[in-house]
Structure 1
Amino acid sequence: MTFAQLALICLVAILGPLLSLSRGIRVPVVIGELAVGLALGTTGLRMLDPHDPTFAFLADIGFGLVMFLAGTHVPMRDPALRAGALIGLLRALLIGALSVPVGLGLAHLFGTGHGLLYAVLLTSSSASIVMPAMAGLPQIAPAIVAMLPQLAVADAVCIVLLPLAIDPANAARAAIGGLAVIAAALLVYVVMRWVEVTGRRRAVHQLSEERGLALELRVSLTILFGLAALATAGHVSIMLAGFTMGLAYSAVGPPRRLSNQVFGLTEGFFGPIFFVWLGASLNLRDLAAHPSTILLGLTLGGAAVGLHAVPALTGQPWPVAVATSAQLGVPVAAATLGTNLGVLAPGESAALLLGALVTIAAVTAVVGPLARVAGPAPVAT
């Protein structure tokens, strides 16, 4: 990768935020970044090589940071999360139970043999899509409050189950690696909690702010990359490292300054690189060469939206139910991990991402009704 290519990625990635500026239809920023990658990568002009080691490594860093932010979006300290935990958990379990026979049926129908993988994808939700889509909307309505634990459960469980479902032959190895990452993230939480309670974090924060040292950011990146190294050694996705660390930080309550620093680093540089790389690595020509994979992707996306809409029968407002179908991290990890392991059929990785795009489109379409469910924004006093 050259500086010219890096500058090109950063320049064209601006398309993502520009698409999201519309007040009528809130197109997620990642859609524009994926579109740029498609246009310049394997599918389009082939100006960007996703197999370039530097490009791929920067994308891995971006993926870890994106999932870290997704974890911090889960309001672990919010009492409302605990209040709606039971109903949210039950709804997530309902969707998971329904997804198993549907996933197995789709695998049989398309002859892929990946029924468990499809079940995990159909069950998954993505806080990194839903929460930004709701930016600016009040999140105190009971239906919204009950949705938060549902997102958290679906996110966390599916991230853990993905390595087991995509490579059943090595499920034991993946389970050990996943448990190691989770245990390390719990240790991070315990240490961070102790540092916070004893006042040491505030002292470091004050020193860092006075002298412009960015110590908290340096420490956070060190921990994240350490967890990512553990995940890589354990043959599990970097996604698990980033997400569990984000949950740990959310449970303790990261300082606003650190949150802003990580957000700027991710959204301003590494996040766009990851999504542009992802778009560049997708070969939609495979979809054209294997038309059945197009139908597979559309079916996976439509089935996910339909399954997540089922809790509307239990009293959950239908816009909220549809919003929980949003997928991103799990399909991305499935496509990346499956391609690296060589277990996916030609065009199947692109089909998984196509299904995710269908769910993102569904969430984009219900932002207006979601605003009505959330209620009027609180009036400043």
Structure 2
Amino acid sequence: MGLDALGGLLGSPVSIFTLMLLASLLIPPIFERLRLPGLVGLLAAGVLLGPSGLQLLDPKAETVVLLSDIGKIYLMFVAGLEIDLKEFRKTRNRSLSFGGATFLIPLLFGIAIGRLFGFEWISAVLIGSLLASHTLLGYPIVQRLGVAQAEAVTVTVGATIFTDIAALLVLAICVSISAGEFSWLRLAVQMAALVVYAVIVLFGFRWAGRRYFRQTGDDQGSQFLFTLLAVFLAAVGAQVIQIEGIIGAFLAGLAVNDVLGKGAVKEKVEFVGGVLFIPFFFIDMGLLLNLPAFVSTLSRHLALVSAVVLGLLASKLLAVLVVRLRYGYRWSEAMVMWSLSMPQVAATLAAALVGRQAGLLTDAVFNTVIVLMLVTSVLGPLLTQRFAKRLTVPDINQSNRPVEPWEPPYPAAPPARQDFAVLVPVYNPTTEARLIEVGALLARQAGGKLAAIAIAQAHLNPTEAELTNAIALSRQRLQQANTISHSLGITAEPILRIDSDVGLGISRAAREHDTQLIVMGYGETASLQARLFGSVIAHVFTTAHCPVAIIRLQVQPQQIRQILVPIRDLAPSSLRLIQFARYLATALGAAMTLVHVCPAHTTEPAKARFRQRLYDQLQDAAASPDRYKVVPHGDIAQVILRVASQYDLVVLRATRRMASPGLTVSDMTTEVLRRFDGSVVLFGEPEG
């Protein structure tokens, strides 16, 4: 094969797609091992494959441009989708105050820097808008540390809505002005069109999404396609009114946020973007990075680079200090707000690329933005890791209202009833016996009943033979469950259900039979297949009306004598976890040890107050532990892994997490499951 033929092969769309997939798969893990964000690895991959490296990819190739544009739009959509609107509503006023400060102060700093270095007003304003937004790279860290509900965190998350929207609006105005002759009338018409467009996207897409999701029911494939259509339709609509598509994508993310909730469709949308399209955008950023020019920028334009980086750090810190003086936040809270609002990735890079393509930003500014991203994406999470350990989370003891008892489970569940029903799905013969035994013990403890369910999975238009075989297999499993339950002195009500979706079938049967608890076996949920198509556990967890106990036992239930329950705060969810653990311990005849993981700097009087509040609450709920330990530490996962070897079973709360594209940090429960091979129970609650 000649060089021309080889060049033609490497320039084909399939070869380009293959190379970018290969880079997305291989490079980020190498950088994560070096404790650098994976997105830095994607940039490095772009440099390596681009004109400054091996010259295997051309940033001007149509395929590269297409994939990059899709990734850019998807990145901004996920940024809007990941904003927790519920948390924003809780701290709306303070979030808007901080959002205004952390937008306006960096904007003014950026304008001043731009003018100081001789840029025109429109370019200076655009530079200011680049500094005004932020990306919540450190959010997975505060989730892992168990302080995501701290006010400093929720206020910063809420402020993201304001900063990102405002920064994108400034970008739209600047690009619009640069595209034609400026006039106040033209600007007014443009703003009016933008307002009308935003209303259509935010309210029209939300209304259409809710109607479509109700009509399609469980058809996740159609719902996934509808979500993708909403994203790119919003992007095309933005271009129709002559604004950037990333603005429409961000608004579309906000619009379908409530529609998707935290279900399986949202997971699929984020997964496809996080592993496929978004990495392509960062690779393209690396392709556009001219390495000699980048080095030249660092040497010849060192003053500009220093001014932008230091200006960003100083202006974000000043915004935090202003809000701290107004609301009286502690230094640790202020530092967490600063570290969370520091990283400049999603909106900043997308806007910088648009500004460069529009001719508003020079190569020196574009390279400076890359430096800014590298510095803040590393420094921000490091500071978050350090200062978030000192945060405290408000608990329900600030009011004297006792928590609702575990039985009946939750206000959202059906009214109290005499019979306590436990539902056990049977599927895996190797774990079925232990699940039935635990379910039987829990049901017998409450004087209730046990039900075993087998799902005969029937896809669309199954043949008679396929359906007959599925039913026969399910009946065989139910017969085995019946034999096991009889040996334990309890009768298991058999339930045979035909359903196309196993998870939804279990949830529907639980509702139909007035179940108070579902007991399931733990399966692999992090595999590629599970993440693409959704695991049964995830489906049950997101659709069930009652609590779900996900069990992984390495010993027989009768061998469990010591149960460990780690908590960090006294939020209602933590107390309900303790109540369940107490109930489980009583059913198994085991002792329960409660481990309170408090911040490392917690004083002895504070520990004593927490202990007294804990005893008051648990005494009312009849869930007092047999033993109580206090461990000052900033990382709950490390404490669990260190202490768990002394216990037969660890009870953890199953939670959902928000992950930022390009930087995935496991939450506490995920990290423990990955590193701990002992017996575990995950207690999941219905989505509220």
Is residue 287–residue 293 contact of structure 1 (8 Å, CA) maintained in 2? Answer: no
Task: Tell me which residue corresponds to 1:362.
Answer: 379
Give me the whole-angstrom Cα distance separating, in 2, the residues matched to 1:351 and 1:63: 19
Following superposition, the deviation at residue 317 of structure 1 comes to 2.4
Letter in 1 for 2:76: M
Following superposition, the deviation at residue 64 of structure 1 comes to 1.3
Following superposition, the deviation at residue 304 of structure 1 comes to 1.4
SS of the equivalent of 1:347 reads helix
Task: Tell me which residue corresponds to 1:205.
Answer: 217
* 142, 148, 152: which one aligns with 1:143: 152
Give me the whole-angstrom Cα distance separating, in 1, the residues matched to 2:67 and 2:190: 24
CA distances 1:320-372 after superposition (whole Å, capped 9, x unpaired): 21221221233223322222222322422222232232221221321322441
Following superposition, the deviation at residue 65 of structure 1 comes to 1.3
Aligned: 1:310 with 2:318:
yes
Aligned: 1:68 with 2:77:
yes
Is residue 96–residue 158 contact of structure 2 (8 Å, CA) maintained in 1? Answer: yes
Q: 1:357 to 1:298 in 2, by over 3 A?
A: farther
Aligned: 1:217 with 2:224:
yes
Task: Tell me which residue corresponds to 1:286.
Answer: 293
TM-score normalized with structure 2 length: 0.49
Q: Which moved more, 1:218-227 or 1:352-361?
A: 352-361
Q: 1:146 to 1:69 in 2, by over 3 A?
A: same
Is residue 356–residue 363 contact of structure 2 (8 Å, CA) maintained in 1? Answer: no
Task: Tell me which residue corresponds to 2:54.
Answer: 45
Give me the whole-angstrom Cα distance separating, in 2, the residues matched to 1:45 and 1:155: 36
Give me the whole-angstrom Cα distance separating, in 2, the residues matched to 1:12 and 1:97: 38
Q: 1:115 to 1:339 in 2, by over 3 A?
A: closer
Aligned: 1:92 with 2:99:
yes
Give me the whole-angstrom Cα distance separating, in 1, the residues matched to 2:101 and 2:360: 29
Letter in 2 for 1:245: A
Task: Tell me which residue corresponds to 2:352.
Answer: 335
Q: 1:242 to 1:348 in 2, by over 3 A?
A: same
Q: Which moved more, 1:80-89 or 1:364-373?
A: 364-373
Q: 1:275 to 1:346 in 2, by over 3 A?
A: closer
Is residue 140–residue 374 contact of structure 1 (8 Å, CA) maintained in 2? Answer: no
Is residue 106–residue 315 contact of structure 2 (8 Å, CA) maintained in 1? Answer: yes
Q: 1:246 to 1:20 in 2, by over 3 A?
A: farther
* 36, 40, 43: which one aligns with 1:34: 43
Following superposition, the deviation at residue 307 of structure 1 comes to 1.4
Higher relative contact order (CA 8 A, sep 6+): 1
SS of the equivalent of 1:30 reads helix
Letter in 1 for 2:156: M
Aligned: 1:299 with 2:287:
no
CA distances 1:220-279 after superposition (whole Å, capped 9, x unpaired): 112212111122233322211211111111133446221122122112211111111111
Is residue 16–residue 57 contact of structure 2 (8 Å, CA) maintained in 1? Answer: yes
CA distances 1:34-60 after superposition (whole Å, capped 9, x unpaired): 121122223333221111111111111
Task: Tell me which residue corresponds to 2:479.
Answer: none
Q: Which moved more, 1:150-159 or 1:345-354?
A: 345-354
Give me the whole-angstrom Cα distance separating, in 1, the residues matched to 2:343 and 2:363: 25
Task: Tell me which residue corresponds to 1:11.
Answer: 22
CA distances 1:57-109 after superposition (whole Å, capped 9, x unpaired): 11111111121111111011x2x322222122112222333234422321122
Is residue 32–residue 38 contact of structure 2 (8 Å, CA) maintained in 1? Answer: no
SS of the equivalent of 1:239 reads helix
Letter in 2 for 1:362: L
Task: Tell me which residue corresponds to 1:118.
Answer: 127
Ranges in structure 2 where 5+ consecutive residues have no aligned partner: 1-10, 393-567, 575-651, 654-682, 684-688
Give me the whole-angstrom Cα distance separating, in 1, the residues matched to 2:72 and 2:83: 17
Task: Tell me which residue corresponds to 1:107.
Answer: 114
Give me the whole-angstrom Cα distance separating, in 2, the residues matched to 1:133 and 1:321: 14
Letter in 1 for 2:15: A
Give me the whole-angstrom Cα distance separating, in 1, the residues matched to 2:377 and 2:254: 23
Q: 1:167 to 1:331 in 2, by over 3 A?
A: farther
Give me the whole-angstrom Cα distance separating, in 2, the residues matched to 1:6 and 1:304: 36
Give me the whole-angstrom Cα distance separating, in 2, the residues matched to 1:68 and 1:344: 24
Is residue 228–residue 242 contact of structure 1 (8 Å, CA) maintained in 2? Answer: yes
Looking at secondary structure, tell me which structure has more helix per residue: 1
Letter in 1 for 2:169: V
Ranges in structure 1 where 5+ consecutive residues have no aligned partner: none
Q: Which moved more, 1:29-38 or 1:324-333?
A: 324-333
Q: 1:44 to 1:296 in 2, by over 3 A?
A: farther
Letter in 2 for 1:369: R
Q: 1:288 to 1:180 in 2, by over 3 A?
A: farther
* 274, 277, 288: which one aligns with 1:270: 277
Is residue 39–residue 45 contact of structure 1 (8 Å, CA) maintained in 2? Answer: yes
Give me the whole-angstrom Cα distance separating, in 1, the residues matched to 2:242 and 2:140: 30
Q: Which moved more, 1:215-224 or 1:321-330?
A: 321-330
Q: Which moved more, 1:163-172 or 1:86-95?
A: 163-172
SS of the equivalent of 2:144 reads coil
> How do 1:180-195 residues align onto structure 2 when only pairs under 5 Å count?
181-186=197-202, 187-193=204-210, 195=211
* 233, 240, 243: which one aligns with 1:226: 233
Q: 1:335 to 1:105 in 2, by over 3 A?
A: same
Task: Tell me which residue corresponds to 1:252.
Answer: 259
Give me the whole-angstrom Cα distance separating, in 1, the residues matched to 2:336 and 2:20: 35
Q: 1:223 to 1:115 in 2, by over 3 A?
A: same
Give me the whole-angstrom Cα distance separating, in 2, the residues matched to 1:111 and 1:43: 29
Letter in 2 for 1:36: A
Give me the whole-angstrom Cα distance separating, in 1, the residues matched to 2:44 and 2:334: 32
Is residue 110–residue 124 contact of structure 2 (8 Å, CA) maintained in 1? Answer: yes
Is residue 141–residue 374 contact of structure 1 (8 Å, CA) maintained in 2? Answer: yes
Q: 1:205 to 1:58 in 2, by over 3 A?
A: farther
Q: 1:373 to 1:232 in 2, by over 3 A?
A: farther
Following superposition, the deviation at residue 184 of structure 1 comes to 3.1
Is residue 13–residue 33 contact of structure 1 (8 Å, CA) maintained in 2? Answer: yes
Letter in 2 for 1:49: D
Is residue 98–residue 320 contact of structure 2 (8 Å, CA) maintained in 1? Answer: no
Q: Which moved more, 1:87-96 or 1:56-65?
A: 87-96
Looking at secondary structure, tell me which structure has more strand per residue: 2
Is residue 74–residue 277 contact of structure 2 (8 Å, CA) maintained in 1? Answer: yes
From the CA coordinates, give the structure whose radius of gyration is larger: 2
Is residue 293–residue 348 contact of structure 1 (8 Å, CA) maintained in 2? Answer: no
Is residue 24–residue 279 contact of structure 2 (8 Å, CA) maintained in 1? Answer: yes
Give me the whole-angstrom Cα distance separating, in 1, the residues matched to 2:149 and 2:285: 35
Is residue 37–residue 280 contact of structure 1 (8 Å, CA) maintained in 2? Answer: yes
Give me the whole-angstrom Cα distance separating, in 1, the residues matched to 2:152 and 2:94: 10
